[in-house]
Amino acid sequence: MPIKPGPLWGKHLAESPDEALVRFCAGRDVRPLPMADAELLPFDLWTNRAHAIMLERQGIVDRPTLAAMLEGLAQLEADWEAGVFELNPAKEDVHLNVETWLTEHKGPDIGGRIHTGRSRNDQVATDMRLFLRSACLEWGESLGSLIASLLDQGQAHAATVMPGFTHMQPAMITTWGHWLCAHVQALCRDLERLRLAYDLCNRSPLGSGAAFGTSWPIDRELTAELLAFERVEINTLDAIGARWECEWQVAQALAAAMTHLAVISQDLILLSHPYWGMIRLNDRHVSGSSIMPQKRNLDFAEIVRGKAAWAGGVASGLLGLAKGAMSGYNRDSQLGKYAALDLVRECREAPVVIRAVLDGLSIDAEKMRELLGQGYLAAADFADAIARKLGLPFRAAYDIAALAVRYSGSAGAIGEAAARQALRESGQDPSLVGQILGELGDPSRVVGWRQHTGAPSLAAMVKQIESLRDEAQRLCAFIPQERARMESAWRRCRDHK
């Protein structure tokens, strides 16, 4: 019977690869990038609507002119969604494309008035802030979803003991739940950074003109309200000169989050390594090799690590963008737009992919427990126990434990004879060795000794998970509120009569 041709990654994988994971790993290899301003068009249409409504409210244009403007913008939006309208590179940017389209379809009296009282400088600054706000909310939702999954798994594995590591070497006994919650705490800080970045972006630069305002009697507060901004940027010169800054704030938050996802990724690579085998990823989430038919590579994890490094570089580059530039608008800031758009596009799927991988992996609790017998993971607890039982200073107990490790050779765990010898040489009574080592022989009991806040004992984990869940929910609470506020403002502009 002929063998049916399989995927490039080979028939040793029981399931086909996850399509989202394949896309994430392939990246731009076989996919074109959209025009930068194509991603801004929906935001530019919103900005145009808000500006047009304000012009009519201020008596700068009349109601028939506003009606024609809004009708034209709605038609352009419909053509865009239907794939009929495309940005024309000859028109330089999205702003001129929209204005030209209105002029061609509604006449020069309509298209020619839409730019009254503004500049492309404040248009693009506004579009980018709308885009960055949306990116912060999207990332917040993704991180919130990942955190919820981590906490659910942490609760299920709060008592699943495993080796803990420092310097990539065996350190102390911990639990899988404690490992998961460590990443939750880091991701909660990322949510805080996203909220800060969101708040700093949530101020309207519209109406700043080229940087020095306008002689038209505009109402900046009204356009800010129509675009769901919290308030206006008070000084128009800074509002335009700071175009790099909002991009940098968001890039900082995303770079930190990507770095935390990279740490998770590296842990998954090591913990799933066949030589350790503490976890196993679903076949849907690993990649094969074009030449080695046995391979189960964690390509997604390596991509996350790479993108984390790149994201840090983008953030650093944005910080340096204004260096040496005079206050006000400088064309240097144009590069900040590309950097921010690229960063959001390239990294947006990372938390989604990580969650899918974590949801699908299996834990080998037996292997985790087995590995606790290597690397003297209870040595620090042995020192603590000696200090408590004998009333010794910790440093003296530490020295005794170190001797016991030395005398145990390659055993991987402190033996009774070695412990007795270490105590005897240190002038201490070795008769308590049996009792101490007996207590240390149960990893769950050892972990259970650590009862303080944030520790891996079951009692501490229950409180920790509850606290982290409350924290995450509090940090995510603004997301649906802001989405609803933005949706309401957008509908107000779209449905304005």
SS3 annotation, 23-58? HHHHCCCCCCCCCCCCCCHHHHHHHHHHHHHHHHHC
* 294-298-300-305 Cα dihedral, nearest 10 degrees: -140
C-alpha pair distances (Å), 280 with each of 294, 298, 452: 15, 11, 31
DSSP 353-395: HHHHHHHH-EE-HHHHHHHTTSS-TTHHHHHHHHHHHHT--HH
Name residues whose C-beta falls within 8 Å of residue 243's C-beta, 6 or more positions apart in sequence.
Answer: 124, 125, 128, 329, 333, 336, 337
Q: How far apart are CA 273 and CA 139, in angstroms?
A: 30
Q: How far apart are CA 86 and CA 76, in angstroms?
A: 10
Phi-psi sector, 393: left (phi>0), alpha (psi -120 to 50), beta: beta
Count CB neighbours of 362 within 10 A: 10
DSSP bridge partners of 170: 165
DSSP 54-77: HHHHTTSS-HHHHHHHHHHHHHHH
Q: Is 496 noted as a catalytic residue in this protein?
A: no
Q: C-alpha angle with apex 490: 488 to 493, nearest 5 degrees?
A: 110
Q: C-alpha angle with apex 400: 395 to 406, nearest 5 degrees?
A: 125
Q: Tell me which H or E stretch contains 197.
A: helix 176-201
**Active-site hit among 16, 289, 362, 488:** 289
**Active-site hit among 167, 215, 410, 431:** 167
Q: Is 167 noted as a catalytic residue in this protein?
A: yes
Q: How far apart are CA 125 and CA 340, in angstroms?
A: 12
Strand intervals (E) in 392-439: none
- Active site positions, annotated: 167, 289
